[in-house]
Amino acid sequence: MCGRYLLTSPVDLLRQLFRFMERPNLGPRYNIAPTQEVPIVRLSRAGDRPELIPELIMARWGLVPYWADDVKIGNRLINARAETIERTPAFREAYQRRRCLVPADGFYEWRKEGRQRQPLLIRRRDQAPFAFAGLWERWQQQGGQTLRSCTIVTCPANALVAEVHDRMPVILAPADHARWLDPAAGDGKALLRPCPAEWLEAVAVSPRVNSPANDDPECLAPPPSATEQRSLI
């Protein structure tokens, strides 16, 4: 699964990778959690131009289906399983019509160490930003306002992630971004697979990540030593 991630790359680097035209004021995020607003990239038409182009928008993490009665359903729809995405009622229409990229610099998992849970940052070895495969949706709120929300697609874990969890987010190769974004390009199921383990590394980070209230550079600090941990208990 993917329940926490980070995005700290400069906007200019993200624009170069994802080819969107907007110049958003995105500050670094070290501990992004469900229900928060996150940037996503979708295809959209700009003005009178006939072609679809990448557009960056903000969306609530946790997909709220268009038919939902309550926004709270999104709290448990932060991930979509790749194996059933095309037939799950909450996701099937978004899969057919509203795919997106979710920019990230890494995601967090937790490894059991005795009674403790050690957070790990899983990122590319070259520390470059990348994209999770995602879906987005519109939901009409009371009063007529539209809520945009999203989910991150997950798949079975590769060899590196499998040491701590049996699932992982789908990390797309840059060459596959356009194919995933455009449903007209064909069935995207072939793209929903674990990325090569050699792309990634896992780095132990501070227990500050355990609380979504902490969102600062100290989340990436090395964990305290065993002696220091005992002194904090």
pLDDT of residue 229: 44
pLDDT of residue 144: 78
Q: What is the CATH number of the domain that holds 181?
A: 3.90.1680.10
Which residues, in sequence order, are bridge partners of residue 105?
none
* Average pLDDT, integer, range 1-17: 95
Domains identified in the chain, total number = 1
> 47: pLDDT confidence band, cut at 50, 70 and 90?
low
The pLDDT tens digits of the residues spanning 171-201 come to: 999 999 999 999 888 889 999 999 999 999 9
Computed over every residue of the chain, the mean pLDDT equals 93
pLDDT over threshold 70, residue 230: no
Distance CA 31, CA 224 (A): 19
Asked whether the beta carbons of 208 and 219 are under 8 A apart, the reply is yes
pLDDT over threshold 70, residue 223: yes
Residue range of the domain that includes 176: 5-232
- What are the two backbone dihedrals, phi and then psi, of residue 118, each rounded to the nearest 5 degrees? -90, 115
Q: Which residues are catalytic?
A: 2, 109
pLDDT of residue 79: 98
The pLDDT tens digits of the residues spanning 69-81 come to: 999 999 999 999 9
Altogether, the residues listed in the chain come to a count of: 233
Which residues, in sequence order, are bridge partners of residue 29?
7
Strand order across the 106-113 sheet: 29-32, 5-7, 106-113, 116-124, 200-204
Q: What percent of the chain has pLDDT over 90?
A: 84
- Classify each residue of 95-111 as buried b or exposed e, where b means 16 or more C-beta atoms within 10 Å of its C-beta: beebbbbbbbbbbbbbe
pLDDT of residue 61: 98
